Amino acid sequence: MKKYEQFSQLKVIEDIPLLLRVDGRSFSKYTKQLKLEKPFDGRLRDIFIEVSKDLITEFNPKYVYTFSDEINILFEESPFNGRIEKIDSIIASFISSSFMKHLIINKDKFDVDVYQLKPASFDCRIITTAAHKKEYFKWRQDEAWRNCLNSYAQSVLNKNHSPKETSEILFKLKKQDIHELLYENGINIAHVPTWHKRGVCLYKMCQEDESRNPKTNEKNISISKEIYIDLEMELIK
Ligand SMILES: Nc1nc2c(ncn2[C@@H]2O[C@H](COP(=O)(O)OP(=O)(O)O)[C@@H](O)[C@H]2O)c(=O)[nH]1
Ligand SMILES: [Mg+2]
């Protein structure tokens, strides 16, 4: 029967960097059911930060970048010997269960009974262009910026239009028109929090810890690795 496990040996090259993008399934509906604030809800951001920390602790990727309902992950080398089915299924399921875990830990911060919601799920895709990792993260950060402009514009237009009308109007607006629309409605997009515009990245950073031996008073320096969370990301150029 083993031969019918047709894709189990499908692999990416193991000893080169690997990029993954994990995205929430139907999160437009899920965030509505959770009654999240629009356009940005810090409670969702905080859950994605906790999920990213779990991911770093468990799988030790080099860099994680998250915005909206997506998490981008860079590995120095492929986990699971490059086995595609393993990578996609384990990372997506780990993120789904970590997401639910942190939703439940924080259940009192939400206005709905989170136990009544459907389980959240995520898809995971492999991006085989790790040689262009900087361009990849720039592309995702550009997408975060587009998402930021559109989400603010949507929340302004939704006040006076149906969702259908809003998307029709948005479709026709140019970037400059969106800036003007926001400005007229008292939103200076330059002044919204950096994480709304650029997302959040996390990575392990070496930290020097100094201590003294109480008997000899000798100085000891040890190196530990802490997870650093950057809420004030620079623009990736
Ligand atoms: N209210 C709210 N919704 C959010 C937030 N972040 C992401 N979302 C929703 O999640 C969706 C994610 O986009 P996408 O993956 O394209 O949609 P999906 O296919 O429905 O998961 C956005 O369109 C929003 O509707 C947030 O901070 N607040
Ligand atoms: Mg999604």
In a domain, 218, yes or no: no
In a domain, 178, yes or no: yes
Contact yes or no for 61/75 (Cβ under 8 A): yes
In terms of Cβ atoms closer than 10 Å to its own Cβ (0-12, 13-18, 19+), residue 126 is middle
CA distance 71 to 23: 7
Instruction: Give residue 60's domain range.
Output: 2-200
Q: In this predicted model, what pLDDT tens digit does every residue of 67-95 receive, in sequence order?
A: 999 999 999 999 999 999 999 999 999 99
What per-residue confidence (pLDDT) applies to 196? 98
CA 125 – ligand 2 centroid, Å:
13
Residue type, 182: L
Q: In this predicted model, what pLDDT tens digit does every residue of 227-237 receive, in sequence order?
A: 999 999 999 98
In a domain, 232, yes or no: no
Nearest residue by C-alpha to atom 25 in ligand 1:
28
CA 214 – ligand 1 centroid, Å:
54
Nearest residue by C-alpha to atom 9 in ligand 1:
28
CA distance 47 to 75: 22
Read off the pLDDT of each residue in 181-186 and give the average, rounded to a whole number: 96
Q: What are residue 195's phi and psi, to 5 degrees?
A: -65, -25
In a domain, 217, yes or no: no
Query: Count of domains in the chain?
Result: 1
Q: Looking at the CA of residue 38, tell me the nearest atom of ligand 1.
A: 1
CATH number of the structural domain spanning residue 33 = 3.30.70.3000
Residue of 25, 27, 29 to test ligand 1 pocket, by largest number of atoms within 8 Å of CB: 27
Residue of 22, 151, 158 to test ligand 1 pocket, by largest number of atoms within 8 Å of CB: 151
Does residue 123 surpass a pLDDT of 80?
Answer: yes
Nearest residue by C-alpha to atom 27 in ligand 1:
40
CA distance 86 to 151: 34
Read off the pLDDT of each residue in 138-154 and give the average, rounded to a whole number: 97
CA 4 – ligand 2 centroid, Å:
32
Q: How confident is the model at residue 14 (pLDDT cuts 50, 70, 90)?
A: confident
In a domain, 210, yes or no: no
Pick from 59, 86, 83, 84: nearest CA to 73: 59
